[in-house]
Amino acid sequence: MVWIIVGLVVLLLAAVIGLAAVAASKALSVRDSLTPAVPIASGIPAKVAAGDAEGAAADAAALKELAARAVSQTEGWDWRIAEWIPVVGQNLAAVRTAAESVDEVADFSVDSLPNLDLSAFRPVNGAIDLQAIRGLEGVVSGGAETFAGITARIDSADRTFLLPQVADALTTLDDAVSGVDETLGTLSPILKVLPSALGEGTPRTYLLVFQGNSELRASGGNPAAIALVTATEGRIELTTQATSTQFANARAESIAPLDAETESLYSDIIGRWIPNMTITPDFPTTVDIMRAWWADEGLPPFDDVIATDPVALSYILRATGPIPLATGETLTSENAVSLLLNEVYFNYGEMVPGQGADGTAQDLFFASAAAQIFSTLTSGVENPLALFDALAQASDESRMKIWSSNPDIEAMVSGTRLAGTLPATNDDRTIAGVYFNDTTGAKTDYYADANVVASTDQCTASGPPTFHQTITFANNITPEQADGLPYFITGPYFEPGWIATDVVVYAPVGAAITSWNVEGAESFTLMSEGTHLGRSVVRISVVTPPQTAATITVDMTGADGTTGADYGPYDVWTTPMVRETPVTLETPGCG
């Protein structure tokens, strides 16, 4: 009897080994089919973006053939039984998941590519085909659902005992699919609201606000150039242009009512000069003040507001290519920032003895440049995907902000940096704010840089966590540069090359600012402190001569009765400057 049992065990083991060997052989065939499928699948988006519909369709057909061959190897009874074998089975199941996922990608590509035409985004004679947008929305929505399902399938795969090569292949596929899933998931709601946003049925008006980072404001910069755009049944027209100088600045009182906390922190200067309406990081507050200025000037009302800056424009120029300006310059992705934020003040405008500064030539330059850029964008961008990438980068860096009276659009941007609002709770993420407002009255911030080192013990503290920030604001102007700077850059209030800045620090929601200190500045002054937007805030003025840096440290403590578990992942949002503002996070114990 013992020998019979031993024999049966031996036979069972032999059968298991045999099944595993057969399945392993098939797995190699699956690998051979999927290996060339990866570069084919990766190349399809580029061909779609380039308008090579025929090439993309051919690649989709080839992808389907390879994927179908791979899936067929995993459908037999021997493969499915082998999946029950410990360790071996998990690897086989992962390989089958990969094959089925690629096959589903191929099915979507074959079915959808004939209807996927990105030229729908390219205006023809200044108008976008709204029916084409609706057709594209159907394809993208279907794709979003498909890829979300594929992502869920891959994420549910058991990776406990996967061989390194299997695990790596599944991770590569997961990353690729997740990227498409995220892109389609982002595009789908945008395409749903795009027809109404483009004036389908009812015209919509957009106020475009261009913020100059060479004169910093918390939201980005001085909103010196403004334009009104009207969208009617897909046709987009530039209807009004304005500059900050044409408004009745230096008012005796704010042009719009201010809530008590905003006025206490920033003073009523936020509503008395239009360049100061962006000194708050709360974009809806800026929109309310802008609406009052616009109406006071007797200009047509607007439905929505979009704010951006020249750095974001430099990203967009990667998609449009160079733009010749009527003034003789050519605007490119490489020179847009320096030309619009610095060189213009050397090349246009002058000091008239006894009359002050004449900025008329600068205003004409900016108006001409804005009109030419708008004309280029509305005449069609050859690579819409490059434009989407540019807009996404600008959004991630807080260089674009959107406020809309359309509840669907407002809901879509809510909670993102596009909304220009700090989160109201710490549930999903714990956000502190570091913002800069120029008080030099000049354009010297083109030469400034800043960085933030932020730390917290929220993942190790048993009681209320603490937060600490070290902020460095550097004036990079050399004495030699200072001697050659024009009046429009230096301004009338400080020695040439000196920079005066209000550093405004917002604690996480519920946390209290317990101490602060400044080192390295020529001088510093506590301007105000208190509560704003449900947060503890301190506003400190620092003055930095050329080639110096001010270091501001701020300590904060979480609300009584809280623990680190009450706080989501920590981050710091800052003013978008001319160059990147690095934020280094030190969160021990957070993984």
> pLDDT tens track of the chain, all 591 residues?
433 333 323 333 333 333 334 344 445 555 666 777 777 777 777 676 666 777 877 887 887 787 787 777 777 666 676 667 776 667 777 777 777 777 888 788 788 777 676 667 777 777 888 888 888 888 888 878 888 888 888 888 888 766 677 677 777 777 777 777 677 777 788 888 889 999 999 999 999 999 999 999 999 999 988 999 999 999 999 999 888 888 989 999 999 999 999 999 999 999 999 999 999 999 999 999 999 999 999 999 999 999 999 999 999 999 889 999 888 899 999 999 999 999 999 988 765 544 456 667 787 788 888 888 888 888 777 777 788 889 889 999 999 999 999 999 999 999 899 999 999 999 999 999 999 999 999 999 999 999 999 999 999 998 999 999 999 999 999 999 999 999 889 989 999 999 999 999 999 999 999 999 999 999 999 999 999 999 999 999 999 999 999 999 999 999 999 999 999 999 999 999 999 999 999 999 997
The helix/strand/coil state of 178 is helix
CA distance 345 to 493: 17
Give every strand in the sheet of 512-519, ordered side by side.
512-519, 548-557, 466-475, 448-456, 583-586
Query: What token pair was written down for 437?
Result: 């407002």
Cβ atoms 487, 357 nearer than 8 A: yes
CA distance 415 to 24: 48
Q: What is the DSSP string of 315-353?
A: HHHHHH--EE-TTS-EE-TTTHHHIIIIIHHHHS-EEET
pTM across the whole model: 0.84
Task: Please state the length of the chain.
Answer: 591
CATH number 1.10.3470 is the correct assignment for the domain at 423-586: no
Cβ atoms 426, 534 nearer than 8 A: no
- 204-411 CATH: 3.40.630
Give the domain ranges of the chain: 2-197, 204-411, 423-586
CA distance 423 to 416: 9
304: amino acid identity, one letter:
D
Q: What is the 3-state secondary structure (H, E, C) of 41-67?
A: HHHHHHHHHCCCHHHHHHHHHHHHHHH
Strand-pair partners of 517: 553
Which one, of 580, 586, 95, lies nearest residue 314 by Cα?
580
Place of tokens 């000049």: 442
Q: Residue 508 carries which DSSP code? A: P
Which one, of 440, 447, 410, lies nearest residue 541 by Cα?
440
